[in-house]
Amino acid sequence: MNNIDLKAAEKLGIPVKNVEAYGTPSVVQHTLMMMLSLATKMPVMQKRMAAGDWQKSPLFTLLDPPTFQLEGKRLVIVGSGELGQAVKEQAEALGMRVTFTARPGKTDDSRPSFDELLPEADVISFHCPLTDETKGLLNRQNIKHCRPHTLVINNARGGVANEHDVLDALRKGQIGGYATDVLPQEPPKDGHPLLDALNEPLNLIVTPHNAWTSPEARQRIIELTAENISALK
């Protein structure tokens, strides 16, 4: 819906329908993949393997960087809709403690705010729409309250996290890892900072907005679109 001028459509009397909840299982497994990969430092370990570091190790293993056990850790989720709830269920199966933030911009939401939960978050996962209230929700000002091991996952919209601030924090060791399936501009242009940073020894994952692209999810889009069209008759 971010690409639709809803006010203009309303003014012209054009109905707008949204296809909802078409790819929840696909996006949830993508989120778990990112969480597990960051926790096990997979991006860094793959670079070390490619560089031949294992062959040079005096031990039978590589101990650096140390992995991150998710059991008992605090997962803070922004967005308590179907996706957020499904991620919560899977995370709890791993033994994680899950907390939802208050909805950004809602003063009558009694849950703790995003900024209040940052200092105690081991993992942050975004599953919210891009609105005026969520744009730049994670930024230079509040990311300094994260712990150095905090892992950040964005499968919502690119603008929810300020990518320049997040990348700077990752390079400085203010957070422990960042994974995103979304960028503010898609497809990105050559020379995008996050894509260039994939060549650095960082705990960083960037995927091409493909969390939703399983055949099952795409078929569900077709079915729900047909239902939406039929409902207009």
Could you give the CA distance from residue 202 to residue 153 in angstroms, rounded to a whole number?
A: 15
How confident is the model over 131-142, as a mean pLDDT?
Answer: 97
Is position 89 within any domain?
Answer: yes
Q: What is each CA distance from 179 to 101, 152, 204, 228, in whole angstroms?
A: 20, 6, 6, 33
Give residue-wise pLDDT tens across range 10-60.
899 888 888 877 889 999 999 999 999 999 999 999 999 999 999 999 999
**Is residue 48 annotated as a catalytic residue, yes or no?**
no
pLDDT band at 178 (very low <50, low <70, confident <90, very high): very high
* 215, part of any domain: no
Give the active site residue among 209, 216, 218, 220. Answer: 209
Which of 186, 216, 223, 227 is labelled catalytic? 186
Whether 223 is in a domain gets the answer no
Q: Which of 191, 162, 177, 209 is nearest to 30 (CA)?
A: 209
Q: What percent of the chain has pLDDT over 90?
A: 83
Place of tokens 């422990």: 176
* Catalytic pick among 30, 103, 127, 157: 157
Active site annotation includes 164:
no
13 assigned to some structural domain: no
User: Can you give the CATH number for the domain in which 98 is found?
Assistant: 3.40.50.720
What mean pLDDT is predicted for residues 118-143?
Answer: 97
The pLDDT of residue 2: 64
Sequence-separated (6 or more) residues with CB below 8 Å from residue 227: none
Q: Which residue bears the tokens 């939401």?
A: 109
Q: Is the pLDDT of residue 228 over 90?
A: no
- What would the mean pLDDT of 142-168 be, rounded to a whole number? 97
State percent of the chain over pLDDT 70. Answer: 99
pTM given for the model: 0.91
Whether residue 134 lies inside any domain: the answer is yes
In this prediction, residue 1 carries a pLDDT of 59
Q: Which of 34, 37, 39 is nearest to 127 (CA)?
A: 34
Residue 32 counted as domain residue: yes
Is residue 228 in a domain? no
186 labelled catalytic:
yes
Domain count of the fold of the chain = 1
Residue 114 domain-assigned (yes or no): yes
pLDDT at residue 6 above 90?
Answer: no
Give CA 122 to chain center in angstroms: 14
* Structural domain range at position 147: 24-49+68-103+110-209
More confident residue, 105 or 87: 87
